[in-house]
Structure 1
């Protein structure tokens, strides 16, 4: 009897511990703010309704931004940067964007190609001789950026301790042996992509900068992009408290997502590691010292506005309205048109192609890069649109339809269609 009472007491305590804080935070008022240009009011309305209807998690914060024909037309945010402290999401709140960082890394590589310091079809070893170890001598820059180099199993655990020593990190990456014959298969290089890109950039860049330094000096500062690969400790006060689903809810979300089910099945059938879909240890990304390290695959910190502005420039022919050029139209055309082969593995499941480091959606004529938890950066050169969405609530929706982001994107296109019809 005493055992039963103790068990009941433990269960009740557990339930109260989990749910009482949620009930408390859910009573906080709904806050949304920002600006939209005439004609885009329905986007702001839908954004607020997402918070009112529970589509957006009330204890987290999100922001959505759009550039159209070079001008900012939507810049809205809502929710809380820290619901426990009652700290609302503000105009200058920044958050980690996970793999959307890869899009910024790919852009840095594209700038080097544009300036004649790098060639997509030359071997990596022609710039970085040590890379030729263990059968990697014929890997081209294109093969590396297209996730076909056989270096996908390198994890955050393998490299985290080396991020503070670029020379030691370069030695580790150079001697790593491919998991398959490079160029013969494709598998997402989740953590290694940005690290190899940065080491290659150090050799090809005349100033021998790291990728984070290059991004800051060549993109962020000249174009006013509030995005950081290596997040300064003094800016951490602008960072939110991340939140994510419980293990049970994560499992429920992944099982109910047909794209994730297919992804898991394909990995199981091909004998690839990671056949189970495990939630990312998101709490690791609450450590300021970790975010301060340069990991161009996943540690980038920025805003939806920053992503939308970058991709808005690329969608506008690579230049701002004032004529300041970020990238040539020729390179942008290569991203959209030079997709090689049929997507397989991760790309085939998502129905996208990898090209030169970007996700390319051929049917929608868009390119960019998503990030874990539902972060998005997209360029649409056909309609001259750049879109960014980030959230401090990390869901499983990166693989598939995101009920927070995709309706906002659809509403944006409806507004543009009406404006263009006038």
Structure 2
């Protein structure tokens, strides 16, 4: 039984092999006319299919790769942008916390009384605010007084430096102002410049916020068309023309109130062109210009700002030229922060703050032959001890308020007004 099944299995295997041999013979006979077909066609077909598959695979890989890289680059750029924005935001916040906006002004001898009122107004509303005063024609006695005002830095102690190569040193031609702005920005980084003829009528917080956010602060309000009081030569200096639409029927930017935060952009777009203008005889005060046909620094500033491409918003809502707009009580907050009074205000003279004065002993001795005569014995390090009581000068604060009183031995006086006291004493001496 088992042998039978084995023989049957062998016959089946034999039949299969026979049919396979027959098939191979027929296949060889069929392709004998074109032997290359046997070997190349299947290979070519495989190659074509493989190539197509590879290309599709490569395409898919490239697609996924580029998509991934694109998404990765987008993610990376987004992350970098977010970090930079956050960094900028943090830096801005730190800048707001660390940057102190310094009040800057300038004055000549004619404006000294107005300067005292202006500084007094800052002392009243912003007690801790630092103030920088530039000397553009003050007397030495006035400079000595300023040294004893609270929180005040005096610049150009001996007047406008010779090293400042300005076209004109006439204070009324305003070539000095760009030099003041440049030095103030370099020194303090964040400044608010105001003319000394103005005064402060409210806290400066709102102006500070705008200045630190925008990096600049400007106002309009003096005219409706800057070309009406702008000398043609100033326009030509900047390569411009009065008739251009960017200037026509546009108000001037005021030179009496402007603010800056130190930056590369502000320096290149505004400060440097303004400084170069002040050095040229053709620009800020050209030949033939006067207050009748020209606004000097304001004309130059307005041309620069309108040509800068900056999107500037003028904050004229903070200023007024009319005292009627102010609170009748100057010690109460007004709607307008700055009153551009042009030396017409004296509301804050009494609010001027003085430092602890540097004192020197100073004696006026009574003489039988003359009136009061200065003692030649005084020193900055020790009290002059007199054996007898004498009539001595008692100086408190302002050199203009000098009184002669009976005083104890060795009276200390403010050194800042020593020269003035000496002049008054000398004037009171009678010739024998």
- Tell me the TM-score normalised to structure 2 length: 0.22
Choose 1 or 2 for highest CA Rg: 2
**More RCO (CA 8 Å, sep 6+):** 1
